């Protein structure tokens, strides 16, 4: 993505469609001014876009942990760069998909609102899943997700405790050594038993978790990711639920 989402053109070719003069773009792809990615619109139209979000005050510390010892010895992801969090880029892609008809205007989980005529239907619902909702009710969220994208839900989707699936997962995540250990060594997805006291406390005071996990000198760097990330995440939460949302509210179901 061009990382701006402000109308800056994408594409590999210059505005006069001349060929690029250096790698890594050997294709004469014309620019598309409203497209925030480097992928041509004709290719984007081949995909069915859905969005999985996680609140920045939990995602950023997890990302930061991969950039410091001892885990950085495996990830090689150093130094920690707030711009790599990707919240602004995800928002730009979401807005582009919604505003240009790649998704919507119907919204997954809002049947009553979807009865109101909005205009041309893309045939693809706006589908945004909050990671906290998925952890609270894996089967319920996955059932709605499958319905939204046109798949038949199967209970086996929530269990992968077999050798074939474990081998596949390790090979798929091999490039990102150290980032996905919890997922690689998991066996299934069940509802979490409870929300920790720290989670509830940090919902009201976002800086607490950063202070809890990391020394004070690191907190400033991780918090650089939060302002834009919070704004982008809460905007997508509002789109998902159709109601006002704040950083202290629990997300609605899908």
> Would you list the domain boundaries of the chain?
1-41, 48-154+192-241
Task: Check pLDDT > 80 for residue 208.
Answer: no
- How far is it, in rounded angstroms, from Cα 229 to Cα 248? 15
Q: Kindly report the number of other CB atoms within 10 A of residue 201's CB atom.
A: 12
Within 10 angstroms of residue 222's Cβ, the number of other Cβ atoms is 24
Q: What is the SS3 assignment for 220?
A: helix
pLDDT of the residue at 222: 60
Give tens-digit pLDDT for 96-138: 999 999 999 999 988 766 666 666 788 899 999 999 999 999 9
Residue of 225, 16, 241 lying closest to 127 (CA atoms): 241
* Cα–Cα distance for residue pair 53/40, rounded to 1 Å: 24
- Report the C-alpha gap between 88 and 3 in whole angstroms: 7
Q: What pLDDT does residue 125 have?
A: 93
- pLDDT for res 244: 39
* pTM to 2 decimal places: 0.71
Q: In the prediction, which pLDDT does 236 show?
A: 61
Q: Assess whether pLDDT exceeds 90 at residue 188.
A: yes
What distance in Å separates the CA atoms of residue 202 and residue 195, rounded to the nearest whole number?
11
pLDDT per residue as tens digits for the range 139-152: 999 999 999 999 99
For the cut 90, the answer to whether the pLDDT of residue 198 exceeds it is no
pLDDT at 240 over 70: no
For residue 11, the model assigns a pLDDT of: 53
Instruction: Tell me the percentage of the chain whose pLDDT exceeds 90.
Output: 43
What does the block give as tokens for 119? 């205009």
Those residues with Cβ within 8 angstroms of residue 18's Cβ, 6 or more apart along the chain or in another chain: 28
Is the confidence at residue 93, as pLDDT, over 90?
Answer: yes
In tens, the pLDDT along 29-42 reads 778 889 999 899 99
- Specify the pLDDT at position 215: 53
Distance of CA 152 to the CA centre of its chain: 23
Please state the rounded mean pLDDT for residues 49-62.
90
Task: Please give the Cα distance from 73 to 10 (Å, whole number).
Answer: 35
């Amino acid at each position: 993505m061009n990382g701006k989402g402000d109308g800056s053109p994408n594409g590999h070719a210059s505005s006069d469609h001349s060929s690029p003069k250096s790698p890594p773009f050997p294709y004469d792809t014309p620019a598309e001014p409203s497209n925030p990615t480097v992928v041509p619109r004709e290719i984007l139209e081949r995909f069915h876009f859905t969005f999985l979000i996680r609140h920045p005050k939990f995602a950023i510390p997890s990302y930061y942990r991969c950039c410091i010892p001892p885990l950085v010895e495996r990830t090689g992801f150093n130094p920690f760069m707030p711009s790599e969090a990707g919240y602004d880029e995800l928002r730009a892609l979401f807005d582009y998909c919604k505003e240009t008809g790649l998704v919507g205007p119907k919204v997954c989980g809002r049947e009553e609102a979807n009865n109101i005529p909005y205009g041309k239907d893309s045939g693809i619902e706006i589908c945004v899943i909050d990671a906290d909702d998925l952890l609270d009710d894996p089967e319920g969220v996955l059932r709605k997700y499958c319905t939204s994208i046109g798949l038949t839900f199967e209970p086996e989707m929530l269990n992968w405790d077999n050798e074939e699936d474990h081998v596949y997962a390790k090979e798929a995540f091999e490039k990102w050594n150290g980032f996905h250990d919890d997922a690689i060594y998991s066996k299934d997805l069940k509802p979490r038993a409870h929300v920790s006291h720290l989670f509830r406390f940090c919902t009201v005071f976002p800086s607490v978790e950063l202070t809890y996990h990391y020394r004070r000198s690191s907190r400033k760097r991780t918090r650089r990711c939060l302002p834009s990330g919070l704004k982008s995440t809460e905007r997508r939460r509002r789109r998902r639920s159709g109601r006002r949302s704040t950083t202290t509210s629990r997300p609605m179901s899908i």
